Chain A
């Protein structure tokens, strides 16, 4: 049972436009959400996070939106740059949970075309 789902395996966007990556979750106990970025031949690196007490968190060109009633979060990248081309994983956890366990989605490959 996939508790965190990224239904779009890939996304192609023109440089300068907005990239929107989506993620859905099923477990209502999740209260902390993260996005990781992964380049080929490298490990995932943390990008941005959001707590369930917020509905938006912004860091430069990256903004994460959380809709708790829909159990949906999205990552917006504005403007998109070719260097943003990577696989993006969303992850969810129960904050402060005993196991610090992150549940990852399957990833979305973003290609930003120059």
Chain B
């Protein structure tokens, strides 16, 4: 089954404690992206990757890092989380050359106290 898998689905942490949200896709997609969803703001892109070892900032990259060492994985790293990073995070992937229908993971709800 084609899917994008995120972990953890739910996490409560404290300010400054480094965390990583993993994302893996099994569709051999070149393109992967992270979004955050906040009330009244919709989905905003954090970082994206066009392929292995190619990453770039989206609209709200501050406080986040990513890496793309393998095609299937695109982890989101919060080196020093702050309360304003409390949000619902979605990973998504897309096969290049297609018409733009992103496949999304089920989301990771992060609370930073």
- Report whether over half of chain B's contact residues are helix, strand or loop; otherwise say mixed: strand
- B residues near A32, Cβ cutoff 8 Å: 99-100
**B76 CB to nearest A CB, Å:** 15
Cβ B41 vs Cβ A49 within 8 A = no
Residues of A within 8 Å of B104, CB to CB, are: 36, 43-45
A104 proximal to B (CB < 8 A): yes
Q: Is B19's CB within 8 Å of the partner chain A?
A: no
Partner of A102, one of B56, B102, B105: B102
A100→B106 contact, CB < 8 A: no
State in angstroms the CA–CA spacing of A62 and B100 once bound together.
19
Contact A44–B101 (Cβ < 8 Å): no
Among B56, B58, B99, B103, the most chain A Cβ lie within 10 Å of the Cβ of: B99
Tell me if B4 counts as interface (CB < 8 A to partner A).
Answer: yes
Contact between B45 and A101 (Cβ–Cβ < 8 Å)?
A: yes
Q: Please list 25 pairs of residues, one from A and one from B, whose beta carbons are closer than 8 Å in the complex, sorted by A's number.
A: A9-B40, A32-B99, A34-B101, A41-B106, A41-B107, A42-B106, A43-B105, A43-B107, A44-B102, A45-B104, A46-B101, A46-B102, A46-B103, A99-B48, A100-B31, A100-B48, A100-B94, A100-B100, A101-B45, A101-B58, A102-B102, A105-B42, A106-B40, A106-B41, A107-B42
Enumerate chain A interface residues (CB-CB to B < 8 A).
4, 6, 9, 32, 34, 36, 41-46, 49, 89, 91, 93, 95, 99-102, 104-107
